[in-house]
Structure 1
């Protein structure tokens, strides 16, 4: 008997109860994280353990993931850099520089709206938009 891994199901589980924002801000990762930490009170830090490694056309691509845990809750924020050396983590969103995933606890519309407005107020940010699961074709690329 062969067991088959249902990747779509795994991806759906990973994204259950999550919110995802796409952010256009042509600034360096660490500068953007510093601004989020200073202006919004987060504690984004690089988490090398969950860096995304993709192989395409015999080349390796590494996408940084920054992490901030919300105190007194199960909510964790993940900030992915969407671009590395001309490749994209989510090619369907080439215009997005960063992907902000909120996972582990429910984020209501009010909080999500507050985050979007707060991020929009940061210098260098051109666009903040919520992305729906249906829009994401390469979900599996974000799973760590």
Structure 2
């Protein structure tokens, strides 16, 4: 008898109170984080414990995650690298280099638009868009 783990509830719970941005910026992840930190006055740091591992074609691919917990709020920011050695965390968004997840607190549309405009002002950023849950086919790949 083979038991299948139903991850739908887990995934749905993970994405409650979240916003997700897709970013096209062909930059190294550490360079992009440095620019974000400098411009926005935040402190993205790599969190190796959250790193996501996907197994495809008998190989393991690792996707780094940078984390920034916003002081005196419950809001946490996570920046995922969407590409590793030709594989994608979200293959349906191959054109995106980074995914920015805002989680665990309400984010107003105004605050999100302000963030989008700020990210767009960074040198090398070509596109920033909000990804709605319906558009994401492999959202379980983002769950850590």
- Matched with 1:32 is 32
Distance 2:74 2:4 in 1: 31
Instruction: Give the number of aligned pairs.
Output: 143
Structure 2 length as normaliser, TM-score?
0.97
- Matched with 2:81 is 81
Report SS of the residue matched to 1:129. strand
How far did 1:76 drift? 0.3
Unaligned runs of 5+ in 2: none
Structure 1 length as normaliser, TM-score?
0.97
- Matched with 1:70 is 70
Q: Report whether the alignment pairs 1:122 with 2:122.
A: yes
Instruction: Please report the RMSD computed on the Cα atoms of aligned residues, expressed in angstroms.
Output: 1.2
After the TM superposition, which parts of structure 1 deviate over 3 Å for at least 4 consecutive aligned residues? Answer: 2-5
Distance 2:35 2:109 in 1: 23
- Matched with 1:49 is 49
- Matched with 1:7 is 7
How far did 1:4 drift? 5.8
